[in-house]
Structure 1
Amino acid sequence: MDTISTILLNLKESCSEVRQSKTLRLEDWVPPPFDSLKFNVDGSARGTPGPAGIGGVLRDYTGRLLCTFSNHIGIQDANTAEILAIARACELCVSRPELKDRDIAIVSDSKVAVSWVNNDEIGSLKHLQVIYDIRNLMRRLGSVSVSYSARAANFVADSLAKKGSDSGEVLLTWSNI
């Protein structure tokens, strides 16, 4: 079993207690179009503020895992964690030359974070620098978008973010792209 499969198996087992809201409709992950990539990201804070983490998973149109990350980010609020997860995905994509001209969809389950990144207005001065950094990274990538998707469709990223909240470990795994 490869490293990413082992990580996902452990996450699935450790997150079996995930609660389902009555209003949350369980959705399956939807792959990106042919020859495109999707980077599902999430932030987690265990309090307002509280121990926080970020996580994400990059997949191709076949669902093959290309990258996973999970980081503890200290004591933060949920919005900061969500913005930092988007920023980390952008940084990772920029760090790989083979991703420069690929169509990449970064998907978050935070409507607030997505609107801050996509709009000219800034929702919070606290996040101003990170939002500018995200926009600059996106320009360097070429064809990249940031969009919203329901939490249920973002289960793996959610699990990785919660793992980051709960531990000081840094996880970053790449497969062949």
Structure 2
Amino acid sequence: MITKKKIILDWNPPAEVHFKFNVDGSVLGKPEPAGAGGVLRDFNGKILCLFSCHLGCLVSNAAEIWVIKVALGLCISNVNLRGRAISIVNDSKVAVSWVINGDFGSLAHFNIISEIHSNLKILGDVEVIFESRAYNSYVGSLAKMGSNCAGDFVEWGDV
């Protein structure tokens, strides 16, 4: 008998004095209701911000770009995060590549990615990176809540 092992990976913390904002987009079809969710933590794993929101009807790549935009907007809204080292971590290689390289293939995403680039300049020491979905399951649940129109929320802790 063959047994399957499920590997559960813990959250991977950022370097000391850095912040990590794990984000995820979720779409319930193609295109269907989309949502975004995220968790901002410090290097000790302390949760500083949680969010979930509905994005309307989108395709998956658009939802993954929008969630990066939402996270950056939240960082800008909190003056204590400006100039701080923050990693925005997404589990979509395509979305991260589009943001980093500016090669997004469709003019439909031009305005969103332009706004992301502007927000990155405002914040300073912020990077957008890809990390496997295995590290992002909690954030995926928040994104699915947004897809299901379960109610938008943002909750801040002490930053």
TM-score normalised by the shorter chain: which range applies? over 0.9
Match of 2:129 in 1: 147
- 1:25 Cα deviation (Å)? 5.7
Match of 2:34 in 1: 52
- 1:119 Cα deviation (Å)? 0.4
Structure 1 CA distance, aligned partners of 2:143 and 2:104? 24
Match of 1:120 in 2: 102
- 1:74 Cα deviation (Å)? 1.3
Match of 1:92 in 2: 74
Structure 2 counterparts to residues 62-141 of structure 1, below 5 A: 62-141=44-123
Percent identity between matched residues is 48
Match of 1:176 in 2: 158
Number of paired residues? 155
- 1:171 Cα deviation (Å)? 1.0
| TM-score in terms of structure 1 length | 0.84
Instruction: Report the RMSD for the aligned CA atoms in angstroms.
Output: 1.4
Structure 2 residue 2 is the aligned partner of structure 1 residue 34? no
Match of 1:17 in 2: none
